[in-house]
Amino acid sequence: MDTAVSYAAGLLIVLGVILFALGAIGILRFPDFLTRMHAAGKCDTLGGLLVVTGIALYNGLALGSLKIIFIAVFIFLTSPTATHAIARAALKNKLPIWTRDEEQ
């Protein structure tokens, strides 16, 4: 029983780290701030949620796990809000947006 919970926690953590890696590759490789935000916002939100949930699952039933779950809920609420605020700041100042024609 205990090992099964540990394996589930490890699986969640590995999935979260894979999503973090995809977000980092997107941050490095995409050509524009909007596409970078697209990679960063989603991968970072779901990856953080999975890793923090895995840590709470490994910690077991305690009062500390409730606080860790609270951190997960907080990441899930605030990370899209921050991404939205950055995108609004960029769009209101009319930054140049990448299109496919610039590639040639």
Q: Which of residues 38-97 bind other proteins (CB under 8 A)?
A: 40, 44, 47-48, 51-52, 55, 58-59, 63-64, 67-68, 70-71, 74-75, 78-79, 81-83, 85-86, 88-90, 92-93, 95
Backbone φ, ψ for residue 61 (5° rounding)? -80, 105
Q: Are 9 and 54 in contact (CB under 8 A)?
A: yes
Q: How far is the CB of 104 from other proteins (least distance, A)?
A: 20
Q: Quickly list DSSP for 32-101.
A: SHHHHHHHHHHHHHHHHHHHHHHHHHHH-SSHHHHHHHHHHHHHHHHHHHHHHHHHHHHHHTT-----GG
In this complex, which beta carbon is closest to other proteins, that of residue 92 or of residue 100? 92
* Site membership for other proteins, residue 31 (CB under 8 A): no
Backbone φ, ψ for residue 32 (5° rounding)? -140, 160
- Residues lying near other proteins in the complex (CB under 8 A): 6, 10, 13-14, 16-17, 20-21, 23-25, 27-28, 33, 36-37, 40, 44, 47-48, 51-52, 55, 58-59, 63-64, 67-68, 70-71, 74-75, 78-79, 81-83, 85-86, 88-90, 92-93, 95
